[in-house]
Amino acid sequence: MRFESVTAHAFGPFTDQRLEFAPGLNVVYGPNEAGKSSWHAALYAGLCGLRRARGQPRADERAFTERHRPWDGQTWRVSAVIRLEDGRRIELWHDLEGKVDCRAVDADLGRDCSAEIIHEGAPDGARWLGLDRRSFLATACVRQAELLAIRDHADLLQTSLQRAAASATAESTAAAALERIERFRSDRIGSERAPTRPLRQALERVAAAREALTAARRGHEEFIDLAVRERALGQEAADAAHQLRLAQAARAAREAERWRTRLRRVRELAAELAAAPPADATAHQEHARPAAGPAVRLPWAAALAASVLAVTGTALALAGVLLPGLALLLGAAGWLLWQVRGALAAARQQLRQAEAAVQAHHTALRRRAELEQLLEGLTVEQLEAETRRRQEQAAQLAAGLDAGEIAAFPLEPNAEAQLARLAEQARAAAARHAQACGELEARRAVRPDVAAAEEALAAAEAELARLRQLGWILDRARQFLEQAQQQVHRDIAPQLASSIRRWLLCVTNQRYDDVRVDPETLDVLVRGSSGRWRRAALLSHGTAEQVYLLLRVAMAERLTRPGEVCPLILDDVTVQCDAERKRAVLETLRTISRERQVILFTQELEVLDWASAAADPARDRILRLDPPTLAA
Amino acid sequence: MKLVLFSDLHLDAQFAWLGPRADAARRRRQALRDTLARIVQLAAEERADALLCGGDLYEQERFTPDTEAFLQNVFADIHPLPVFLAPGNHDWLGPASLYRRVAWSPNVHIFQEPRLQPVTLAEGLTLWGAAHHAPANTPGFLDGFRVDRGGIHLALFHGSERGGIAEQGEGKRPHAPFSAAQLEPAGLHHAFLGHYHRPRDAERYTYPGNPDPLTFGEDGERGAVIATIQPDGSVQRRRVRVGVSTVHDIALDLTGCRSQQEARDRLTALTRDLTGAVRVTLHGELAPSLDLQPADLQDAAPWLDGLVVRLGNLRPGYDLAAIAQEPTVRGQFTRAVLAAPDLSAEERRRVLLVGLRALDGRDDLEVL
């Protein structure tokens, strides 16, 4: 590819101005403020246009726009005509303002070929070279500052080569990229052993979260167990209290029954005593004594009669009137006996009556005693009141309890002891239950939050997974990058050496005849006529600059699509050179221009003079720039 | 007879998927309680004859101590409206079950047995309910079951209808499995169910679905079901949305975004009219200059309960085809990564971006 012309329709200070180029060396001379930088930018923009994409422009794009927008406010436009190696002549047209009317047209056939080179929304002529608008700058354009940097830092020779080998945009070397990845990994991930690094901290957070979750789950289980135990203890306490109530109710019921029985008996006794109160006991005894005495008293008439008969009989008997006498005696005796029997029966009867009376009296006395014993000093009314109270108390204690249970409750003979024992059991059970309730309340306040612990663990694990995956990605990227670096350096080293070797003798005035490029480091070594190999970085400034230019050409060759040739655009690359070096560089450029177009912008009269003498009119051209005329 | 049915509320569930926003998960758990309060209120307003819960009311493994008091009070508030609870696999009726400890108001009936037991709802209308006694391996309640009386028979239990397992997605294991074909031979006119979170209205059974979102991607009209039992045992259903929370799935196209702020502004605009929790899937072309991480978007919509960012179809904003043709380290790196057989699409994209950014001299190597 080579430029045939570039037209600044409205670009910086220029309006409808045009430069035409030769296929070889083009020296564009202009003093300061003649617009060299503007033409350089127009050349670039005429080929590559500007990116048209959504979003805000990049900083470098904003700087380019601010610097090269038309001074007079016209619509910013530029065009260029290029000739490709396949013979096509293409006119590129760029509306840099609206980026709408941008196109590439086959100037001979009139066919729009923009589609071949659309990149980032706009036609980019660098695509025909296998580059793009960013890599074209890094590949085709050599600035004064770059040569100065080589002069001041010889190692930049190697670095710039590495950078170019790494990426067509030459932002960074592969080694620097690898270091960047490694440093990022160390800072953002670190190793499991480094305590202050994110990975180790994430591992610790996960471990802590797992422990917290385990503790939360354990606390949850303990809370549940505690709740179950509290419930069981509550049941125990309720059962013990129930037993105590039953015992109390049973005892109260028994006591009430005893009082009821007692009252009933009192009433019975009272009624009996009221019906048959106890009489005077001595009268009965006196009465009974004669009846119970040894003598039985006969009535006097009967006794007199018996006596008369007895005497009469006796008299008769004595008188010899035996039979009548005996009969009278017997009759008296019989009469007497009969009377005695009668008297005896009557006496017995009397005795029995007396005895019965005594018995009744004693019974009444016993009843009275019993009554008094039952009353125990109380009146019947008082006894009735106490009995009622006991019954009420029993009813109260039995309230809510099953009557059958109360009746069936096995009251021990020593009910008091039994009650005391049951009360103690109920108290102890209530105490255990209360303690469990207290523990449960305390645990409730602590609130083991299992869900929150699970969420914290999930978050910690997610962070750990993120770091691990990031580490894996970085490791793979580094692995691929290392392999790519090795492979490309291995491939490019001999190609660069071959490319440089073609021009080395010529540009170094036979001082160096061979070149080697280290396939690992891309360090350039040259062999002098003495046969010794020397690092190009350690050569003289002039030689180093020449080697650098050759390297740029070599890289341009490597990076350009096969079948195309990338032009070189240089900007004041000899301004810091002394006369001899300047000539050497210019000769090198002329040599290079035999194979590719070289456009050299310069402000130096020496360069102009050299060009005027050395240029081949058939292939080369000298362009003089006049300072732009500002609109009135 | 009018019944209100709900299931799978999962009180005290964990919400790890909600992301790192402070208290987001806590607020979601409170929202579940608010939803239950709305369900109960609905039952009262509808003058329902009963409120039915098909299980998984709460999570036994992570309930908090005050859940007990909350449940006791929320159902007591509608006394004497009957409430029937059929414990599921997450709130199974074990010795330590919260169901055994709460002093329920008299209107609450909890089915206790691992087999269908009858409760008379009205003359000629019987509700058969069962409880899970373990978190897994509960056999089907309909196996060998048949009603033992006349009238209309309804069932309430937590179970997996075999035909619906695939539809419910991964992660659903069968619990108390049964087939819809078992219902009629069992003498059941309709089964009110729980376990499947996706709502399903079949001829002889109803899954109400979880009433408040438990994760993203829950589709279907879910909520509480108002079921009117017809004299012939058929059921007319009407769904009422009762959920307090909302979840949304949105996509954010990052194409053209050059900065974090642009991405945040786009997200803010997309979510401006949304509430609840939002899951945003990032897609589109990632500009080479864009340095963005999911964490950078977290506070772009602070009014949301939660914001979850996930990666979708993202493309690096490099012209990989052009770069792959470069005879440079960058070109070789790109070719090798594109050809690597062991990388997933996402891994490939991320490895490429790391390498290209590093070669561009950038230090922001944590790529989306």
Contacts of A429 (CB under 8 A, 6+ apart): A233, A236, A237, A239, A240, A241
Q: CA B246 to CA B278: how far, in whole Å? A: 8
Q: State yes or no: pLDDT of B184 exceeds 70.
A: yes
**Cα gap B177→B250, rounded to integer Å:** 36
pLDDT at A628: 60
DSSP B326-353: -SSHHHHHHHHHHH-TT--HHHHHHHHH
Concatenated DSSP letters of B128-175: EE----SSS-PPPTTTT----SSSEEEEEEE--BGGGTTTT-TT---S
* Residue predicted with more confidence, B306 or B220: B306
Contact indicator for B56, B97 with CB cutoff of 8 Å: no
A322-356 confidence digits (pLDDT tens): 788 788 888 878 877 887 788 888 888 888 888 88
Please name the residue that has the structure tokens 């048949």.
B146
- Predicted local confidence at residue A322, as pLDDT: 79
What one-character-per-residue DSSP string does B30-65 give? HHHHHHHHHHHHHHHHTT-SEEEE-S-SB-TTT--T
Q: Which residue of B314, B329, B364 is the best one to mutate when testing the A interface, meaning the one whose CB has the most A CBs within 10 A?
A: B329
Q: CA of B245: how far to CAs of A28, A143, A546, B28, B198, in Å?
A: 72, 63, 73, 7, 16
Beta bridge partners of A118: A123
Distance (Å, whole) CA A465 – CA A2: 54
CA distance A86 to B258: 38
The answer to whether A124 touches A105, Cβ cutoff 8 Å, is: no
How, if at all, do strands A533-535 and A524-528 pair? antiparallel
Residue A162: is its pLDDT beyond 60? Answer: yes
> Looking at the predicted structure, is the pLDDT value of residue A287 above 70?
no
Q: Which residues of A443-459 are buried (b: 16+ CB within 10 A; e: fewer)?
A: bbeeebbbbbbbbbbbb
Q: For A61-100, what is each residue's pLDDT tens digit?
A: 888 888 899 988 888 999 999 999 999 999 999 999 887 7
| CB-CB neighbors (< 8 A) of A127 in chain B | 322
Is A123 exposed, middle or buried (CB count within 10 Å of its CB: 0-12, 13-18, 19+)?
A: buried
Q: pLDDT band for position A170 (50/70/90)?
A: low
How sure is the predictor about A284, in pLDDT bands with cuts at 50, 70 and 90? low
CA gap A398, A246 in Å, rounded? 8
B315 touching A (Cβ < 8 Å):
no
Which among B322, B329, B360 has the least Cβ separation from residue A132? B322
Q: What percent of chain B has pLDDT over 90?
A: 68
**Is the dihedral angle over the CA atoms A265, A267, A268, A274 positive or is it negative?**
positive
Which residue among B12, B327, B333 sits closest to A480, beta carbon to beta carbon? B333
Residue A288 has pLDDT above 70, yes or no: no
> Tokens in use for B263?
């991405």
pLDDT for position B135: 93
- Rounded-to-integer distance, Cα A422 and Cα B224, Å: 53
Residue of B nearest to A166 (CA): B329
pLDDT digits (tens, 9 = 90+) for B335-360: 999 999 999 999 999 999 999 999 98
What ipTM was predicted for this assembly? 0.89
| Of B321, B324, B267, the residue nearest B292 (C-alpha) | B267
Measure in Å the smallest separation between the Cα of B54 and chain A Cα atoms.
Answer: 23
Q: CA-CA distance, A515 to A554, in Å (whole number)?
A: 13
Say if residue A567 is preceded by a cis peptide, omega within 30 of 0.
no
For A232-290, give the secondary structure using H, E and C. HHHHHHHHHHHHHHHHHHHHHHHHHHHHHHHHHHHHHHHHHHHHCCCCCHHHHHHHHHH
Q: Which of A459, A450, A208, A473 lies closest to B308, judged by CA?
A: A459
**Across-strand partners of A81?**
A5, A91
* Nearest chain A alpha carbon to B317: A120
B336 touches chain A (CB under 8 A): yes
CB-count burial class (<10 Å; 0-12, 13-18, 19+) for B233? middle
Best of A48, A139, A180 to mutate (most B CBs within 10 Å, chain B): A180
Between CA B99 and CA B71 the distance in angstroms is: 10
Q: Is the pTM of this model over 0.90?
A: no
Contact (Cβ atoms closer than 8 angstroms) between residue A69 and residue A77 = no
Indicate the pairing of strand B125-129 with strand B152-158: parallel
What's the angle, vertex CA B96, arms to CA B90 and CA B101, rounded to 5? Answer: 105
Instruction: Give the model's pLDDT for residue A285.
Output: 56
pLDDT at A281: 54
CB burial readout B251-270, b (16+ within 10 A) else e: ebebebbbeeebbbebbeeb
A229: chain B residues, CB-CB within 8 Å: none
Flag whether pLDDT at A247 surpasses 90. Answer: yes
Q: Minimum mean pLDDT among A160-169, A458-467, A569-578: which range?
A: A160-169
Q: Taking all residues of chain B, what is their mean pLDDT, rounded to a whole number?
A: 91
Q: Between A573 and A156, whose confidence is greater?
A: A573
Each residue's pLDDT tens digit, A599-615: 999 999 999 999 999 98
- Per-residue pLDDT band for B30 (boundaries 50, 70, 90) equals very high
pLDDT at B234 over 60: yes
Task: Give residue for tokens 């051209």.
Answer: A621
- Say which DSSP state A510 is in: T
Highest mean predicted confidence (pLDDT) among A165-179, A491-505, B45-59: B45-59
Please tell me the distance from the alpha carbon of residue B34 to that of residue B40, in angstroms, as a whole number.
10
What is the rounded CA–CA span in Å between residue A574 and residue A112? Answer: 40
User: Residue A298: pLDDT band by 50, 70, 90 thresholds?
Assistant: low
Sign of CA dihedral B136, B140, B145, B147: positive
Please give the pLDDT value at position A282: 59
Within 24-43 of B, beta carbons closer than 8 Å to A belong to 25-26, 29
Contact at 8 Å (CB) between A320 and A353? no
Mean pLDDT along residues A238-257: 95
pLDDT in tens, A481-521: 999 999 988 988 888 888 888 888 777 777 888 889 888 88
DSSP string, A178-202: HHHHHHHHHHHT--TT-TTSHHHHH
Report the pLDDT value the prediction gives residue A279, as an integer from 0 to 100.
65
In a mutational test of the A interface, the residue from B351, B359, B363, B364 whose CB has the highest number of chain A CBs within 10 Å is B359
3-state DSSP call for residue B228? strand
In this structure, the strands spanning A25-29 and A598-602 are parallel
Q: Say if residue A56 is exposed, middle or buried (CB neighbours under 10 Å; 0-12, 13-18, 19+).
A: middle
- Phi, psi of A163, deg, nearest 5: -65, -45
Three-state secondary-structure class, residue A228? helix
- Chain A residues with beta carbon closer than 8 angstroms to that of B255: 54
Contact A181 B25 (CB under 8 A): no
Please give the Cα distance from B131 to B138 (Å, whole number).
9
Q: Are A555 and A496 within 8 A, CB to CB?
A: yes
| Residue A430, SS3 per DSSP | helix
Judge contact between A11 and A77, C-beta under 8 A: yes
Please give the distance of CA A69 from its chain centroid, rounded to a whole number.
Answer: 55
B202 touches chain A (CB under 8 A): no
All residues of chain B having their beta carbon less than 8 Å from the beta carbon of residue A561 are: 325
Q: Dihedrals φ, ψ of B161, to 5°?
A: -75, 120
**Shortest CA distance from B66: residue in chain A:** A444
